């Protein structure tokens, strides 16, 4: 092993030595190689024993000096630190790679569901120096294996006390990240409107609702088309509620015309709470009601004419078992306006991304 103590410089638990003098030593960190448009990743991994044949390649990568680990008891290497951070951050349904790369770990969904983030705790976590974690938005649907967040210790070597502070905070506020599996699967649909009931126009809602449900593994068990009649709507809601239903969806009859009576029928059926109006465009006339734990979601007519509406924002949360109220519907306000882009990229846009 070539060593020359005169050329070594101490730097927070590491010695800096010249590349040509590093043969036989072990790398203190991954060495990243970037070939534009071709490859970006670790070309040498932490712990790699530097061979004579590596020297030229390291120099080609622009390396003239390397760090060699020389940690004291109060210092933790970034790769070890990030495993502790990720373990504390990852709650139910969230996992991460067993092999940190370049001091980073990506948190991934262990199964398909709704991403839940303790936003305040995550912000507090990021107030601790030398650690960070960035994530997707809260309350978004994710699929198994999808990256939901990334975390790292910022310096190559972190103080044990700082790391412990971050880990303790994440454990105290746990879970900071979790995935709620979808459990409402059996959905029944009530389509209201005299014009559809009497065959004057053809219904298009059923196909739209069916497609949106299938994306989350839920199925439409039954669809009925009803006239704008309070009693008939109420009777059907009661029948559905008594018939192994996880959620009822209604379409139409949510506006201000005298014939728009759907929500009156829902109330008459025995809904114990009903919230009408959401801070979302399109979707201001959305309604969510409950009979016990059974949600009844009322989609206004905008669901026919717009690809993305309030229904897309609430559906995954309802299927994941969340009980939404007027505060939740108001909370959509920031980011609740569809920008009506020429090509809709939802969910990869600001729509519904309130924190």
Q: What residue ranges bind other proteins (CB under 8 A)?
A: 45, 83, 86-87, 90-93, 95-99, 108, 110-111, 113, 178-181, 183, 321
Of 99 and 161, nearer to other proteins (C-beta) is 99
Task: Quote the tokens at residue 208.
Answer: 């739209």
CB of 323 to other proteins, least distance (A): 9
Provide the minimum distance between the beta carbon of 25 and other proteins in the complex, in angstroms, as a whole number. Answer: 18
Q: CA-CA distance, 50 to 29, in Å (whole number)?
A: 12
| E strand or H helix at 85 | helix 78-89
Q: Which is nearer to other proteins, 96 or 205 (CB)?
A: 96
Q: Tokens 């989609």 label which residue?
A: 299
Side-chain-side CA neighbours of residue 216 (13 Å)? 29
Nearest distance from C-beta of residue 209 to other proteins, angstroms:
22
Residue with tokens 């790398």: 27
Nearest distance in Å: CB 45, other proteins? 8
* CB closer to other proteins out of 111 and 197: 111
CA angle 133, 148, 115 (to 5 degrees): 110
Containing 223, the helix (H) or strand (E) segment is strand 219-226
Nearer to other proteins, 86 or 133 (CB): 86
Let me know: does 93 contact 181? Beta carbons within 8 Å: yes
Tell me whether residue 289 or residue 319 sits nearer to other proteins (CB atom). 319
| Helix axis angle, 160-172 to 119-127, nearest 10° | 170
CB of 52 to other proteins, least distance (A): 19
Rounded CA separation 233/117 (Å):
38
Cβ-based burial of 233 (10 A; exposed 0-12, middle 13-18, buried ≥19)? buried
The nearest distance, CB 90 to other proteins, in angstroms, is 8
Give min distance, CB of 94 to other proteins, in A: 8
How far apart, in whole angstroms, are the C-alpha atoms of residue 103 and residue 97? 12
Q: Residue 231 contacts by C-beta under 8 Å, 6 or more apart in sequence? A: 265, 268
Closer residue to other proteins, CB minimum distance, 83 or 354: 83
- CA dihedral 333→176→143→36, nearest 10 degrees, is 90
User: Closest CB to other proteins among 296 and 338?
Assistant: 296
């Amino acid at each position: 092993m070539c060593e020359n103590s005169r050329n070594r410089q101490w730097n927070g638990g590491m010695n800096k030595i010249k590349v040509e003098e590093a043969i036989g030593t072990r790398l203190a960190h991954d060495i990243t190689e970037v070939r534009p448009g071709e490859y970006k990743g670790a070309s040498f991994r932490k712990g790699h024993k530097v061979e004579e044949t590596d020297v030229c390649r390291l120099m080609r990568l622009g390396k003239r000096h390397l760090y060699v680990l020389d940690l004291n008891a109060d210092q933790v290497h970034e790769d070890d630190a990030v495993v502790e951070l990720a373990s504390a951050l990852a709650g139910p349904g969230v996992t991460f790679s067993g092999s940190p790369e370049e001091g980073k770990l990506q948190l991934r969904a262990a199964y398909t569901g709704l991403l839940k983030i303790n936003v305040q705790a995550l912000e507090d976590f990021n107030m601790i120096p030398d650690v960070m974690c960035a994530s997707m938005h809260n309350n978004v649907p994710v699929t198994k294996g999808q990256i939901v967040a990334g975390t790292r210790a910022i310096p190559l070597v972190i103080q044990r006390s700082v790391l412990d502070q971050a880990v303790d905070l994440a454990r105290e506020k746990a879970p900071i990240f979790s995935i709620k599996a979808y459990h409402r699967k059996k959905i029944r649909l009530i389509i209201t409107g005299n014009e559809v009931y009497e065959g004057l126009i053809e219904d298009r809602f059923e196909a739209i609702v069916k497609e949106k449900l299938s994306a989350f593994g839920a199925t439409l068990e039954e669809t009925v088309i009803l006239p704008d009649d309070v009693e008939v709507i109420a009777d059907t809601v009661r029948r559905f509620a008594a018939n192994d239903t996880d959620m009822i969806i209604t379409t139409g009859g949510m506006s201000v015309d005298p014939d728009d009576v759907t929500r009156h029928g829902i109330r008459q059926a025995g809904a114990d709470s009903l919230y009408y109006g959401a801070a979302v465009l399109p979707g201001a006339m959305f309604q969510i009601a409950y009979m016990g734990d059974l949600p009844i979601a009322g989609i206004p007519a905008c669901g026919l004419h717009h690809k993305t509406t309030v229904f897309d924002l609430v559906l995954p949360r309802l299927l994941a078992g969340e009980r939404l109220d007027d505060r939740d519907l108001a909370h959509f306000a920031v980011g609740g306006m569809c920008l009506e882009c020429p090509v809709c990229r939802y969910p990869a846009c600001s729509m519904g991304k309130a924190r």
